[in-house]
Structure 1
Amino acid sequence: MKIRTTQIVLYLVFLSASLPVQSQDQAKVAVTQVSRQAIIEQINASGSLVSLRNAEISVKTAGAVQHTTADAGDSVSAGQLLLQLDDKLVQRELALSEAREQQAEILADDAEQQLSELLTLAAQDNVAASEVRRARARYAAAQAEAEAAQAERARIAVIADYHQLVAPFSGIVAQRHVTAGEWLDPGDTVYQLVDLEQVYADFYLPEHAASLINNEVTVQIQSGTADTRFSGELTDIVRVADIPSRTFLVRVQPEPALPEQAIVGAPLTAIFRFELEQQGLVVPRDAILRYPDGRIAVWMVKYDKNDSPYAEQQILQIGRTFDGLVEIISGLSEGDTVVVRGNEALQPKQQLAIVEDKGETDGATN
């Protein structure tokens, strides 16, 4: 059976009339206005947690290790004994020097007494002046000998003290390198001691950040070894560039107290936020659309002669991104209305239904 051409045409007309017209459909969108505010420049940097006092402690004299008193992981106080060298020989030398010092002091006292007696006789003209001069010389020599003996005893006492290694500051023992019985020479490393109270974070910033340092800056730090975030205060700036990387060192003091999970020497990441003096136009990041050809655009809300909103795309030039906002260099004016949600599938001139932003919008039309 043949279907007439007229019947086919009527069927197609009926079918097309029953389909929705996309150009007249309204898309549910959430919108916001372009605003002006202070611009924040954010710089991401990598660094590490360091201690201001991280020492490789070594001995100052040669000797055999008699015993150690601390191991890796131990907390020690300033002045606490860490290692004892065998000091039998030096103690004997110290005892001998003390005896010689005592002997020299006795001889000096006797020489002083003899000089005093001769001075008394000389006042009565009962002794030759030459005898007085010789007594005075003997006394001076005896005094010098006593001072030399005292200095020698003090020198040996210092060497004896060197046979005991004490903690120069309070901290935690990171490593112990020796054990009992080993022979050590001056300068040999025994312990690595780290002060966990004076801890800072070092970061390297690009050179252009040097011009931003005078502005208000906040620092947010995240530990690379744990999902821990903490704030910090920029305390020191080393204005000397590392030529290969074109960066310079800044030091950040964690505040408040450093989290217990943080490890000295562990890698850190930080966001430095510099509040710039100039203000600029910003829109939420969700309003920005990026295309494979490099175009960056937003959908603006325009109104027709019936005061009905419709979509119109606008190409932009953008700047910094911070706090979920994007700086607008060109393409928009303050007070313009842009779509922030439901903008994924909009078409030029498409009618809009503006709704409150509760996550209920979508890219499809209704």
Structure 2
Amino acid sequence: MTKHTVPLLLSALLCSAALARAEVPTLLIEARPVSVSQPAEATVEAVRQATLAAQVAGRVMELNVDAGDRVTRGDVLLRIDAAEASQAVAGAEAGVAQAEAGRIKARSDYERARSLFERKFVSQSALDQARSALDAAEAQVRSAQAGRGQASTVVGYTRIVSPLSGLVAARHVDAGEMAQPGTPLLTVYDPAAMRAVADVSQQRMTALGKVPLRASVELPGSGRWVEAAAVTVLPAADARTHTVQVRVDLPPATLGVVPGSYARVHFLSGESARLVVPSTAVLRRGELTAVYVADDKGGFSLRQLRLGERVGAEGGVEVLAGLHSGETIALDPVQAGIAVSTASRP
């Protein structure tokens, strides 16, 4: 190897590194103002949800829906055996007929007593007794009619209809089972209106400041972030946990969110200048968390970072240590690693 070979080889290596680096997309990292937030664990629930329960005793005769089915308000979801309720209606009808007959007799007796009183054949006391008997018979008719109305209402309770349009979240009974008053039958909810509910300590509520609060909701299951449509702080604290419940409404018709799923609410409390890198630029290998940083030789070097929390909905993550403002990183760590390997070959 001549004395001119080493410079030429070094020049070739630098040229190769520069070409490889030119093919890798990069980003200049600078401190920028980002929203400071305080996260809180939350659970998703439906704003409009109802658990339908039996109001009469009877066997489940007809079950028209199952969990996951879509329903419309007014749809008949389930029927309970109406035989006992129908017998109660028949008994109430008979009671009304009996009371009507009693009223007719009492009125006839009163009219007879009044006629006799006018002709001085009976006393005032006899007339008053006849009038009292007629009043009692009329009251008995009203009572029987009320009983008939109540029995007819009970018959309506054997048809379980949906109080809202939405989805069936759960089915709690099977056809043929015996239902008792208060037995849960079905749970339905409206997926168009969902919210995340978080229990926040009183100290943190004080740190967040006065209402109205602003918040973003992270949905870890799908990796999405959505801006809260509204934040409502309930005006009472739990006496056992000393926390305040905060309801964070999701935007209307947020898809892919079901009641009971996990969410994380980020309450916005101000802004501060921070270094943020795209999460896609971070290389994670076991316990190693690093990025490829552009060096002054036209290539990249792997540098380990200490990261903080995820920042905002754009997929960035805060850098706590390992990177400085003004440095350039590779946006594609895999491509940058290939470029480093290519540049190091002789």
- TM class, shorter-length: 0.5 to 0.7
Aligned residues: 261
Pick closer, same or farther for the CA change 1:267–1:155 going to 2, 3 Å: same
Per-residue Cα deviation, 1:144-186 (whole angstroms, up to 9, x for no partner): 3323322332333233233222334443211223232222222
Does residue 74 (structure 1) correspond to residue 59 (structure 2)? The answer is no
Q: Which has the larger radius of gyration?
A: 1
Q: Output the CA distance in 2 between the equivalents of 1:153 and 1:260.
A: 48
Does residue 340 (structure 1) correspond to residue 325 (structure 2)? The answer is yes
Does residue 236 (structure 1) correspond to residue 233 (structure 2)? The answer is yes
| Partner residue in 2 for 1:285 | 275
Does residue 190 (structure 1) correspond to residue 185 (structure 2)? The answer is yes
Pick closer, same or farther for the CA change 1:146–1:283 going to 2, 3 Å: closer
2:67/2:170 contact within 8 Å kept: yes
Pick closer, same or farther for the CA change 1:132–1:209 going to 2, 3 Å: same
Q: Output the CA distance in 2 between the equivalents of 1:194 and 1:31.
A: 46
| Partner residue in 2 for 1:43 | 38
Task: Supply the AA of the counterpart residue of 2:154.
Answer: I
| Partner residue in 2 for 1:179 | 174
Task: Supply the AA of the counterpart residue of 1:44.
Answer: P
Per-residue Cα deviation, 1:226-269 (whole angstroms, up to 9, x for no partner): 2332211212245526876x7543111123x2322222221112
1:284/1:340 contact within 8 Å kept: no
Runs of 5+ in structure 2 lacking a partner? Answer: 1-27, 277-308, 319-323, 330-346
Pick closer, same or farther for the CA change 1:160–1:45 going to 2, 3 Å: same
Per-residue Cα deviation, 1:97-128 (whole angstroms, up to 9, x for no partner): 21220231132133224323432442343543
Q: Output the CA distance in 1 between the equivalents of 2:181 and 2:94.
A: 28
Post-superposition offset of 1:43: 0.8
2:212/2:231 contact within 8 Å kept: no
Q: SS in structure 1 opposite 2:168?
A: strand
Q: Output the CA distance in 1 between the equivalents of 2:317 and 2:162.
A: 52
Map 1:49-128; keep pairs closer than 5 Å: 49-128=44-123
1:63/1:183 contact within 8 Å kept: yes
| Structure (1 or 2) with the greater strand fraction | 1
Q: Output the CA distance in 2 between the equivalents of 1:261 and 1:81.
A: 27
1:175/1:192 contact within 8 Å kept: yes
Q: Judge which range, 198-207 or 257-266, deviates more.
A: 198-207
Pick closer, same or farther for the CA change 1:172–1:126 going to 2, 3 Å: same
User: Alignment RMSD, CA only?
Assistant: 3.7
| Partner residue in 1 for 2:11 | none
**1:205 maps to which of 195, 200, 203:** 200
Percent identity (aligned): 23
Runs of 5+ in structure 1 lacking a partner? Answer: 1-29, 277-281, 287-319, 327-338, 345-366
Pick closer, same or farther for the CA change 1:341–1:157 going to 2, 3 Å: same
2:196/2:265 contact within 8 Å kept: no
Q: Judge which range, 264-273 or 204-213, deviates more.
A: 204-213
TM-score, scaled to structure 1: 0.60
Pick closer, same or farther for the CA change 1:92–1:283 going to 2, 3 Å: closer
Pick closer, same or farther for the CA change 1:228–1:139 going to 2, 3 Å: same
TM-score, scaled to structure 2: 0.63
| Partner residue in 1 for 2:220 | 224
Q: Output the CA distance in 2 between the equivalents of 1:55 and 1:215.
A: 30
